[in-house]
Amino acid sequence: MFVDTPSKQRVETPPAEPARRRSAVKAAGLLAALALLVVVATASIAVGAKPLGVGQVWHGLFADTGTYGDVVVGERLSRTVLGLLAGAALGLAGAVLQALTRNPLADPGLLGINAGASAAVVTAITFFGVTSIGGYVWFAFAGAMLVGALVWFLGGSRGATPVRLALAGMAIAAALQGYLQAMMILDEAALGRMRFWTVGSLSSASWQSIGQVLPFLAAGTVLALALARPLNAMEMGDDTARALGAHLNRTRALSMLAATLLCGAATAACGPIVFVGLMVPHVVRSFTGPDLRWILPYATVLSPVLLLGADVIGRVVVRPSELQVGVVTAVIGGPLFIFLVRRRRTAQL
Amino acid sequence: MTTLKTTRQPVLRIGGRVSLRIRIRSVAVVLLLTGVALAAAVVLIGTGDFPMSFADVLSVLVGSGHPADELIVRELRLPRVLVGLLVGASLGLAGALFQAVSRNPLGSPDILGLGQGATAGALTMIVLFSGSAAAVTAGALVGGLVTGTAIYALAWKRGVHGYRLVLVGIGVSAVMTAVNSYLITKADMVDAARAVVWMTGSLNGRDWAQVWPLLALCAVLVPVVLANERGLRMTEMGDDASYALGVRVERLRLVLLACAVLLASAATAAAGPVAFVALTAPQLARRLTRSPGPNLVPSLLMGAALLIVADLLSQRAFGSDQLPVGVVTGALGGVYLLWLLVTERKAGRV
Amino acid sequence: MNRLSAENVTLAYEQRVIARELSVEIPDNSFTVIVGPNACGKSTLLRALSRMLRPSEGRVLLDGQVIQSLPAKKVARTLGLLPQSSVAPDGITVADLVARGRYPHQGLLRQWSPEDERVVQESMERTGVAGLADRYVDELSGGQRQRVWIAMALAQETPLLLLDEPTTYLDIQHQLDVLDLCAELHEEHGRTLVAVLHDLNHAARYATHLIALRGGEVVAQGAPRDVVTAELVERVFGIRCQVIEDPEAGTPLVVPAARKARAAAV
């Protein structure tokens, strides 16, 4: 199992003075990341079939007088907002899951959450004749929550271990994958819709679907950020965590809940977007170090940078058509991920 | 035959120079699995729109059957079943090799992106060129081999480390999955339906043209792999320990990974990326033989038996050719993992 | 000419150089112990001597030939290694694991000779694990497990045996067991043993030849009686101490200075 591989990390005890300076650097980095996010979000509104200047974007956002430019801004705004929310949710969920399972490869896919959402959507299409994106959301969310809960119970609920959770997720994803494929082969209508949904895209964003998932995203975000401290303790292994006075079971249950809320809501709104949740926490960790109190906020800010950036690129490269954001994140993220894997010292692998 | 005192294992001695170790339980498992695979194959040959009894099929196979039966068996059903056996065997063996080399029970061709790579090749042919069945097979083969080489090259850094191999494989796999999803959105409905069936893995309409290349490949690679099994068993103890015992670890890995990539790519080209056979066959085989080590022969036979039984199930349960075999192996794989989870938990091992 | 030696080797992991132009000779039929502070390169040197690590410059010679140029199995019949970290395969029995030490003596058609049988049995008896033959390795205690690994290395039947920190994680009784076993192997069979040890007093008591490393350089080598002095310990480990005669064995015994005396020195 991936999770079993012990990482032989060096114990470093940095002197106090530089540690404080390092905190300052990290805080400044976070501000820079926020600035980057603003730039990317602006680009996401400006770039498209009709390109807009920064001035026009400003006008549309803060002095809407109903010009053509303002209408375009309004249309692209919902897509950008969804990208922001979904990106933040996926990055945060990924960081929490990686800490929870002590597995650098944990992502929503590993715990079966994507498969749960997909299976629920295909069920909605095949058996309930749901055709609107707004209609999928509830099914996808319910599917993700259901599978999240199932993984938790099969993984041993109170006695859950990282390995067991990962195995349970894989198992359920496998079984659901068979079901999903069967439905897509038997029902042509399901195939027709599912093939677009499973790529993962922001193009169907609407204020309605944002409104539907927003409460869950907000709850999940607050919960996840509050878990930084207990998860920090858990990263050092169960025994050490217990010795430090952490509540293992409570932290595990709440982490699963937070991750499921976040991934479920994001997946419901834009389809299964892989890799953001896997990659961003990885990248972030390489310069914040293992402290989740830094990893979580960084992942929250940088994941939407990746997602929106990928979305902008997807809109530019094959104009006038567009590449789905899920494709772009994987094509950019894959090589970057491999680069990071190669750079790590063998001892740590 | 004498019995080993230290490990209580029989040893077959021929003259003074030849001595082979035998595990009785492993031999029993091998015989059992061979029996199951062949029996299921005979039943499968008898299954379809024109059913035949077990005895009828056997008499056709030994060459004394009814001429009409003979035509159906020779031209349609036998090659399909042979493809199933060969694909299952190749996947089982490739899975065992990948798991042993990466020292990870999840290190199977599906997880490492070989399946996705082969799929990308096949989809390129289906979607962009509306290619023939032969073109799709060729595309899948090329896709699998290129992906396999890329994973090895990208994971190589003063040797291939098991964990790095898995991580790089997952990265490659994610990229290929995205490419595949994209290709499917670009396809028209007919091609998309064809693509999904291919991606699920199916034995429908397989004929002698698929049998011969697979058979030839297996005939060459299986002996190569088995000759290296003892060395592979040593590497379980870690690189240093096995190197100290005189195993050339890196060369061994290169040879075995190359064999595994060839086997998995050829199998995928013939039947599509049938899910979970490569992942589960070695684990199941290992639990049956209760023997440490890579269990290559039991894994190979387990793969063949699994695929044939799954195909039989899919034909019996859903009617002929309704649902391809990949749906059943996927579902079986999931159930198996869950079962594993529950039993291992009871045993307190996970 | 000794059987095993390193000539001007430079040892490095990736770009990080551990030792430059290091030369050591392992005297034949000696029990050589390499000592030094953490990160002085002692395990790295052992890895180079056992061909686990290829020197970026210089060469390691076994019987006068560059060790990397010899066939892997041939080296494995001459030189055995007990690595620091080995993984027992899941569900393997003690006898099976020890039997794996016979690998370099076997071939595709010669998988288990009466000779193999005899050597495995003997190795288990020597290390006192014969009674555990049918037990699973995962079930054993740390001390038992270490003896099983030593039995495997013994089954390899090599005139040279290298051990990387064989006593780590063992309690004092098992540490002494392992070291006694090493001493027996050395005395009775004239095997050449090379071990990396942490405990200087163990090294002084058991070694016939001591190599002290610091920062990738050989600071001193020779018989413990000649090498272990207060001045050397301070130079190698940076601690003040007295060296007295071990009342039991007559070998040098290092007694670190009391805390206050050491603090005063700094």
Distance of CA A169 to the CA centre of its chain: 17
Structure tokens at A201: 């895209």
**C85 three-class SS:** coil
Calpha distance A307→B300 (Å, rounded): 43
Nearest CA in chain B to C72: B246
Say yes or no: A3 contacts chain B, CB-CB below 8 A: no
For helices B277-289 and B78-102, angle between their N-to-C axes, nearest 10 degrees: 70
Closest CA to C190 of C40, C47, C27: C27
pTM of the model: 0.81
- Check CB contact under 8 Å for A327 and B179: yes
Cα separations in angstroms, C99 against A132, B162, B237, C83, C114: 65, 25, 13, 17, 12
Calpha distance C54→C9 (Å, rounded): 9
- Which region among A9-18, A280-289, B87-96 has the lowest average model confidence (pLDDT)? A9-18
Calpha distance C141→C120 (Å, rounded): 21
- The per-residue pLDDT for range B198-219, each reduced to its tens digit, is 888 888 888 888 899 999 999 9
Closest CA to A286 of A273, A275, A276, A299: A299
Calpha distance C227→C32 (Å, rounded): 13
**CA-based torsion, B319, B324, B330, B333: positive or negative:** positive
- Check CB contact under 8 Å for B331 and A5: no
Q: What's the pLDDT band for A303 if we cut at 50, 70, 90?
A: very high
Say yes or no: B3 contacts chain C, CB-CB below 8 A: no
Say yes or no: A2 contacts chain B, CB-CB below 8 A: yes
Q: Which string of DSSP letters, residue by residue, matches C3-20?
A: SEEEEEEEEEETTEEEEE
Interface test with chain B among A98, A184, A340, by most B beta carbons within 10 Å? A184
**B313 three-class SS:** helix
- Check CB contact under 8 Å for B6 and C121: yes
Calpha distance B238→B245 (Å, rounded): 11
CA distance B122 to chain C (A): 38
- Check CB contact under 8 Å for A192 and B350: no
- Check CB contact under 8 Å for B164 and A349: yes
Calpha distance C240→B299 (Å, rounded): 61
B155: which chain A residues are within 8 Å (Cβ-Cβ)?
342
- Check CB contact under 8 Å for C112 and B19: yes
**C260 three-class SS:** helix
Nearest CA in chain B to A335: B171
Say yes or no: B51 contacts chain C, CB-CB below 8 A: no
The answer to whether C26 and C3 have CB atoms below 8 angstroms apart is yes
Contacts of C5 (CB under 8 A, 6+ apart): C23, C24, C25, C26, C60, C61
- The per-residue pLDDT for range C156-169, each reduced to its tens digit, is 999 999 999 998 87
Q: Would you say residue A7 has pLDDT above 70? A: no
The answer to whether B35 and B41 have CB atoms below 8 angstroms apart is no
Predicted local distance difference test score (pLDDT) of residue A251: 85
Mean pLDDT calculated for residue range A56-80:
79
Structure tokens at C258: 């009391």
- Check CB contact under 8 Å for B237 and C90: no
Predicted local distance difference test score (pLDDT) of residue B31: 94
- Those of residues 140-199 in A touching chain B at CB distance below 8 A are 154-156, 161, 163-164, 167-168, 170-179, 181-182, 184-186, 188, 191-192, 195-196, 198-199
Cα separations in angstroms, A36 against A31, A39, A285, A304: 9, 5, 18, 10
- Check CB contact under 8 Å for B182 and A324: yes
Predicted local distance difference test score (pLDDT) of residue A234: 77
Nearest to C76 among B17, B19, B245 (CB): B245
Q: Which residue has the higher pLDDT, B143 or B284?
A: B143
* Residue C55 phi, psi dihedral angles, 5° rounding: -65, 140
Q: What angle do CA A90, A95, A101 make, to 5 degrees?
A: 120
Instruction: Give the chains touching A; criterion: ≥3 Cβ pairs < 8 Å.
Output: B
Predicted local distance difference test score (pLDDT) of residue B89: 96
Q: Are strands C65-66 and C57-62 parallel, antiparallel or unpaired?
A: antiparallel
Predicted local distance difference test score (pLDDT) of residue A3: 38
Preceding omega of C27 cis (within 30 degrees of 0)? no
Nearest to B20 among C89, C95, C111 (CB): C111
* Residue B76 phi, psi dihedral angles, 5° rounding: -110, -55
Calpha distance B46→B76 (Å, rounded): 11
Nearest CA in chain C to B16: C113
Say yes or no: A304 contacts chain B, CB-CB below 8 A: no
Nearest CA in chain B to C138: B349
Predicted local distance difference test score (pLDDT) of residue A162: 63
Cα separations in angstroms, B272 against B115, B140, B245: 8, 8, 40
CA distance B145 to chain A (A): 19
Alpha helices by DSSP H, listed for chain B, are 24-45, 54-61, 67-71, 78-102, 109-112, 114-123, 129, 133-155, 162-186, 189-200, 208-227, 229-235, 239-244, 249-271, 277-289, 296-318, 325-346
Count how many Cα atoms sit within 13 Å of the Cα of residue C218 in the half-sphere of its side chain: 20
The answer to whether B226 and B100 have CB atoms below 8 angstroms apart is no
Nearest CA in chain C to B223: C108
Calpha distance A98→A92 (Å, rounded): 10
The size of the A-B interface in CB pairs under 8 A is 161
The answer to whether B110 and B278 have CB atoms below 8 angstroms apart is yes
- Those of residues 81-120 in A touching chain B at CB distance below 8 A are 105
Nearest to C103 among B21, B246, B293 (CB): B246
CB neighbours of residue B304 within 10 Å: 29
Predicted local distance difference test score (pLDDT) of residue C93: 87
Instruction: Give the chains touching C; criterion: ≥3 Cβ pairs < 8 Å.
Output: B
Predicted local distance difference test score (pLDDT) of residue A156: 67
Q: Which of A232-236, A273-277, B341-345 has the highest average model confidence (pLDDT)?
A: A273-277
| 3-class SS letters over B95-133 | HHHHHHHHCCCCCCHHHHCHHHHHHHHHHHHHHHHCCCH
Indicate whether this complex's ipTM tops 0.85: no
Structure tokens at B167: 């991580």
- The per-residue pLDDT for range C182-207, each reduced to its tens digit, is 999 899 878 999 999 988 999 999 99
Cα separations in angstroms, A83 against A50, A303, B229: 19, 9, 51
The answer to whether B307 and B242 have CB atoms below 8 angstroms apart is no
CA distance B192 to chain A (A): 8
- Those of residues 10-39 in B touching chain C at CB distance below 8 A are 11, 17-21
Nearest CA in chain C to B7: C95
- Check CB contact under 8 Å for B241 and C86: yes
Share of chain A above pLDDT 70, in %: 86
- Check CB contact under 8 Å for C104 and B246: yes
**B204 three-class SS:** coil
Q: Would you say residue C33 has pLDDT above 90? A: yes
- Which region among A26-30, A191-195, B26-30, C141-145 has the lowest average model confidence (pLDDT)? A191-195
Share of chain B above pLDDT 70, in %: 92
**Rounded mean pLDDT of chain C?**
89
CB neighbours of residue A27 within 10 Å: 12
Structure tokens at B300: 């190979």
Say yes or no: B251 contacts chain C, CB-CB below 8 A: no
Contacts of A191 (CB under 8 A, 6+ apart): A184, A185, B189, B192, B193, B196
Predicted local distance difference test score (pLDDT) of residue C25: 93
Q: Would you say residue B121 has pLDDT above 90? A: yes
Mean pLDDT calculated for residue range A82-87:
93
Say yes or no: B7 contacts chain C, CB-CB below 8 A: yes
* Residue A253 phi, psi dihedral angles, 5° rounding: -60, -45
**Helical (H) or strand (E) element with C227:** helix C224-227
The answer to whether B195 and B136 have CB atoms below 8 angstroms apart is no
Predicted local distance difference test score (pLDDT) of residue A19: 62
- The per-residue pLDDT for range A113-127, each reduced to its tens digit, is 888 888 898 888 888
Calpha distance B90→B220 (Å, rounded): 12
- Check CB contact under 8 Å for A335 and B171: yes
Alpha helices by DSSP H, listed for C5-138, are 42-49, 72-78, 94-99, 114-126
Q: Would you say residue A150 has pLDDT above 90? A: no
Say yes or no: B240 contacts chain C, CB-CB below 8 A: yes
Cα separations in angstroms, C200 against B48, B295, C23, C207, C237: 78, 45, 22, 10, 10
Instruction: Give the chains touching B; criterion: ≥3 Cβ pairs < 8 Å.
Output: A, C
CA distance B205 to chain C (A): 41
What are the boundaries of each domain within chain A? 32-199+212-347
Contacts of C105 (CB under 8 A, 6+ apart): C77, C113, C115, C116, C157
B234: which chain C residues are within 8 Å (Cβ-Cβ)?
100, 103
- Check CB contact under 8 Å for A185 and B179: no
Calpha distance A136→A162 (Å, rounded): 31
Calpha distance C71→C51 (Å, rounded): 12
- The per-residue pLDDT for range B274-288, each reduced to its tens digit, is 878 888 888 888 888
- The per-residue pLDDT for range B84-95, each reduced to its tens digit, is 999 999 999 999
- Which region among A46-50, A163-167, B167-171, C231-235 has the lowest average model confidence (pLDDT)? A163-167
Predicted local distance difference test score (pLDDT) of residue B346: 60
- The per-residue pLDDT for range C103-134, each reduced to its tens digit, is 898 887 777 888 888 999 999 998 889 999 88
Classify the phi-psi angles of C229: left when phi > 0, otherwise alpha if psi is within -120 to 50, otherwise beta. Answer: beta
Closest CA to C45 of C19, C65, C67, C66: C19
Burial of C263 (0-12, 13-18, 19+ CB in 10 A): exposed
Q: Does domain A32-199+212-347 have CATH number 1.10.3470.10?
A: yes
The CA radius of gyration of chain C, in Å to the nearest whole number, is 19
Predicted local distance difference test score (pLDDT) of residue C170: 82
CA distance B158 to chain C (A): 9
| 3-class SS letters over chain A | CHHHCCCCCCCCCCCHHHHHHHHHHHHHHHHHHHHHHHHHHHHHHHCCCCCCCHHHHHHHHHCCCCCHHHHHHHHHHHHHHHHHHHHHHHHHHHHHHHHHHCCCCCCCCCCCHHHHHHHHHHHHHHHHCCCCHHHHHHHHHHHHHHHHHHHHHHCCHHHCCHHHHHHHHHHHHHHHHHHHHHHHHHCHHHHHHHHHHCCCCCCCCCHHHHHHHHHHHHHHHHHHHHCHHHHHHHCCCHHHHHHCCCCHHHHHHHHHHHHHHHHHHHHHHHCCCCCHHHHHHHHHHHHHCCCHHHHHHHHHHHHHHHHHHHHHHHHHHCCCCCCCHHHHHHHHHHHHHHHHHHHCCHHHC
